[in-house]
Amino acid sequence: MNMNKIVIVDDEPSIVKMLQLVLQKEGFHQLYTAGTCQEALDTIARNGADIVLLDVMLPDGSGFELCSQIRQLGNPHILFLTAKVSDLDVLTGFAMGGDDYITKPFNPLEIAARIKARLRRIDEIGKPAARSNTVAQTVYSYGRFQLNEAAGELLVDGAVVTCPAQVFQLLLYFCKNPGIVFSKAQLYEAVWGIDGLGDDNTVMVHIRRIRERIEHDPSLPTHLLTIRGLGYKLVKEPINV
């Protein structure tokens, strides 16, 4: 039995019921539900959460604002479920601390697949430390920034820069594979852990979040480059623009 705690926050009973049934069939049994922001905060404060499925439009507030409040209670994986699909909505969701984004209507089996993929990635990341009491410090240096894998730290111009977990994992993947061009689909599969179900916006927004941290001018990147028609690559030597 899967012991991960999943909190479904949505005020549409039919969606909540559908997700409960599908997730239970997929082996998830610690399921909690909430129909308002306050109920969600009370539920998470009382029970904790590993995964939060979060609607954006709730009766007593915005799921975007609720996301930042949830981050004060812990660090669950937050997946937005919403009919709001504009670029601004997506950017707002990630800026508030969301990890992934899926639009309504959706296939509940896709939700289950994304949850399983996320939990696999968490397990994979944790395995090396579990096998050894001594974790080698691996530091990737790219001129003005350094990424310390073991410490989970990003340093830019010598100062520690806050880096959300999913942003850190994407940058780490680039650092381990310098000079290689990756498509958005390849990046989603490698970092989010599932093939073919990624929203292009998810990757694009996280690319932007990396650039905001490591580039002098995120609009004119010199390290994390866009290769038109192919994808993105990280270069060790900055490109003059």
DSSP H helical segments within the chain, as ranges? Answer: 13-25, 37-47, 63-71, 87-95, 108-131, 165-176, 184-187, 200-214
Instruction: Give strand pairing partners of 146.
Output: 141, 155
Domain architecture of the chain: domains with CATH: 2-128 (3.40.50.2300), 139-234 (1.10.10.10)
3-state secondary structure of 1: coil
Interval 66-99: pLDDT, tens: 998 998 888 888 998 877 655 566 666 666 677 8
Interval 141-163: pLDDT, tens: 998 899 999 888 999 999 999 88
Tell me phi and psi for residue 207, to 5 degrees. Answer: -60, -45
> Distance of CA 222 to CAs 143, 154, 209, 211, Å?
11, 18, 15, 9
Residues in the chain: 241
Q: pTM of this prediction?
A: 0.64
Interval 16-51: pLDDT, tens: 999 999 999 999 999 999 999 999 999 999 999 999
Q: How far apart are the first and last CA of the chain?
A: 54
With contact defined as beta carbons under 8 Å apart, do 63 and 54 qualify? yes
